[in-house]
């Protein structure tokens, strides 16, 4: 049994000076109850908390640590850069180096602009799409999360849903009216929205593999259909690859699915664990950005040398060993099969979704294909599942709307230990 004495004490202390004790809401465990774990350090596949517990980590900083925690080349790159100064606000060669590598790895992009988070990347991508098309409205999908900027907090997934405030106070009606909502995997609905808003839609933005209502793959023909609709109506297609980029393949979901977006956004893996986001497109679109074009976008710390050094070391590792993506998928499949077998043996209703190294366990009978079906899962069972696993030293995301991230640092022994933990707690679910 784990002890959480110090974590709980630290949480109480944090709540005095930080709203809810956390700097990002999902960390507070509200969806599952209990106090969050305070981490002391992490290495490879494991977290070590303030009470001395060792946990197998399936959150991995919500995606960035695809090669495990404290991956040595990233750590070394950051230490070396730090000695030379932490920020200049003037260009460095490093920015061109990582940009070149990203342009090489990702299909169909000529230029990339670095920012500081996935939120910034998606917010800027939409502004660019609006500037490029001269239109205001955007289509987004229920359950897709694109960060916390105002236009996106309309039925956003994971954190926003977990807190039951999909339409956050503070987002004005003026902003909300330009965000049109569709169901994920419902192409007919998107077609209808386009018909009803002729020449008004600037962009369709989506997670090409959804990861913020659990993991939901795009239905066959869905992405291709969106591609065609955007083409036919003069709108730009934005793939939010903050989660999927440099994870599902070197070229992300675009490479995996063969569907090309007009603008692609990145975050998480691209920063190797430092605060980095990016958006990219072909020249025709990117040349609309300041200082080349009229669409304004900027950042004091954008392209920060430490962040770029970490990101470059990460992308180089992924570029040099493309087998990583195959290995990750094999590990994820192994885990999927192991957990499914145990839950089936214990007659527990479940659906497991998986794409590449993204996986989610839903306590639902029906296929989970959109936000409504993701919400139909038994949340009480999930809570028991979460706390049961935690007590066994397995740390999954504290919300049924989150995806688990498999890393290259996980060994088959770790996966077996995880499956054994599920077997142990299954009778209690």
Using the minimum distance from each CB to ligand PLP, give the nearer residue, 249 or 419: 249
Among 48-56, 78-86, 139-147, 294-302, which window interacts with ligand PLP (CB under 6 A)? 139-147
Among 6-14, 204-212, 329-337, 371-379, which window interacts with ligand PLP (CB under 6 A)? 204-212
Using the minimum distance from each CB to ligand PLP, give the nearer residue, 53 or 244: 244
- Identify the residue among 57, 240, 262, 408 touching ligand PLP (CB under 6 A): 240
Point out the catalytic residue in the list 46, 58, 145, 184. Answer: 145
Smallest gap from residue 403 Cβ to ligand PLP (A): 8
Binding of ligand PLP at residue 217 (CB under 6 A)? no
Binding of ligand PLP at residue 212 (CB under 6 A)? yes
Binding of ligand PLP at residue 119 (CB under 6 A)? yes
Binding of ligand PLP at residue 375 (CB under 6 A)? no
Binding of ligand PLP at residue 143 (CB under 6 A)? no
Partners of residue 141 on adjacent β-strands:
182
Among 38-46, 97-105, 117-125, 182-190, which window interacts with ligand PLP (CB under 6 A)? 117-125
Using the minimum distance from each CB to ligand PLP, give the nearer residue, 115 or 342: 115
Binding of ligand PLP at residue 398 (CB under 6 A)? no
Burial 393-407 (b: 16+ CB within 10 A, else e): bbbbbbbbbbbbbbb
Binding of ligand PLP at residue 242 (CB under 6 A)? yes
Using the minimum distance from each CB to ligand PLP, give the nearer residue, 124 or 351: 124
Q: Are the beta carbons of 420 and 32 closer than 8 angstroms?
A: no
Binding of ligand PLP at residue 62 (CB under 6 A)? yes
Smallest gap from residue 406 Cβ to ligand PLP (A): 16
Q: Which of residues 332-371 bind ligand PLP (CB under 6 A)?
A: none
Binding of ligand PLP at residue 243 (CB under 6 A)? yes
Among 115-123, 311-319, 341-349, 369-377, which window interacts with ligand PLP (CB under 6 A)? 115-123
Among 5-13, 64-72, 187-195, 240-248, which window interacts with ligand PLP (CB under 6 A)? 240-248
Binding of ligand PLP at residue 118 (CB under 6 A)? yes
Binding of ligand PLP at residue 145 (CB under 6 A)? yes
Using the minimum distance from each CB to ligand PLP, give the nearer residue, 194 or 405: 405
Q: Quick check: is 240 catalytic?
A: yes
Q: Which of residues 263-282 bind ligand PLP (CB under 6 A)?
A: 267, 277
Interface with ligand PLP: number of residues (CB under 6 A): 16
The Cα-based distances of 223 to 72, 126, 190 in angstroms read 37, 18, 11
Q: Quick check: is 58 catalytic?
A: no
Binding of ligand PLP at residue 25 (CB under 6 A)? no
Q: Are the beta carbons of 46 and 57 closer than 8 angstroms?
A: yes
For tokens 């040099």, name the residue.
320
Where in the sequence numbering do the catalytic residues fall? 145, 240, 268
Q: Which residues bind ligand PLP (CB under 6 A)?
A: 62, 117-119, 122, 145-147, 207, 211-212, 240, 242-243, 267, 277
């Amino acid at each position: 049994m784990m002890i959480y004495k110090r974590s709980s004490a630290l949480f109480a202390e944090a709540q005095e000076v930080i709203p809810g004790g956390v700097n990002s809401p999902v960390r507070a465990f509200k969806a599952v109850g209990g106090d969050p774990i305070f981490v002391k350090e992490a290495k490879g596949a494991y977290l070590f908390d303030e009470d001395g517990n060792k946990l197998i980590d399936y959150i991995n900083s919500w995606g960035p640590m695809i090669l495990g925690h404290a991956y040595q080349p990233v750590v070394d790159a950051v230490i070396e850069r730090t000695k030379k100064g932490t920020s200049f606000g003037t260009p460095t060669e490093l920015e061109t180096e990582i940009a070149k590598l990203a342009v090489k790895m990702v299909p169909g992009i000529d230029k990339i602009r670095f920012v500081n988070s996935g939120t910034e990347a998606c917010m800027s991508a939409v502004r660019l799409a609006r500037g490029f098309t001269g239109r205001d409205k955007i289509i987004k999908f229920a359950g897709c999360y694109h960060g916390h900027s105002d236009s996106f907090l309309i039925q956003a997934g994971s954190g926003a849903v977990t807190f039951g405030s999909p339409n956050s106070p503070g987002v004005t009606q003026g902003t909300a009216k330009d965000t049109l909502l569709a169901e994920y995997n419902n192409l007919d609905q998107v077609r209808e929205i386009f018909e009803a808003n002729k020449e008004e839609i600037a962009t369709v933005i989506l997670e090409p593999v959804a990861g913020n209502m659990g993991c939901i793959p795009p239905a066959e023909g869905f992405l291709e259909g969106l591609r065609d609709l955007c083409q036919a109506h003069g709108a730009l297609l934005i793939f939010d690859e903050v989660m999927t980029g440099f994870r599902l393949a070197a070229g992300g979901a675009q490479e995996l699915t063969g569907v090309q977006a007009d603008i692609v956004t990145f975050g998480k893996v691209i920063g190797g664990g430092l605060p980095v986001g990016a958006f990219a497109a072909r020249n025709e679109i990117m040349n609309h950005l300041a200082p080349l074009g009229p669409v304004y976008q900027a950042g004091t710390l954008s392209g920060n040398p430490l962040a770029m050094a970490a990101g470059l070391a990460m992308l180089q590792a992924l570029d040099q060993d493309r087998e990583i993506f195959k290995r990750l998928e094999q590990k994820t499949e192994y885990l999927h099969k192991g957990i499914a077998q145990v839950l089936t043996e214990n007659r527990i209703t479940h659906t497991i979704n998986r794409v590449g190294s993204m996986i989610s366990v839903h306590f639902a009978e029906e296929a989970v294909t959109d936000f409504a079906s993701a919400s139909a899962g038994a949340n009480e069972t999930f809570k028991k599942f979460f706390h049961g696993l935690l007590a066994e030293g397995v740390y999954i995301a504290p919300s049924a709307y989150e995806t688990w991230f498999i890393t290259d640092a996980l060994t088959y022994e770790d996966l077996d230990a995880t499956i054994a933990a599920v077997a142990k707690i299954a009778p209690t679910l």
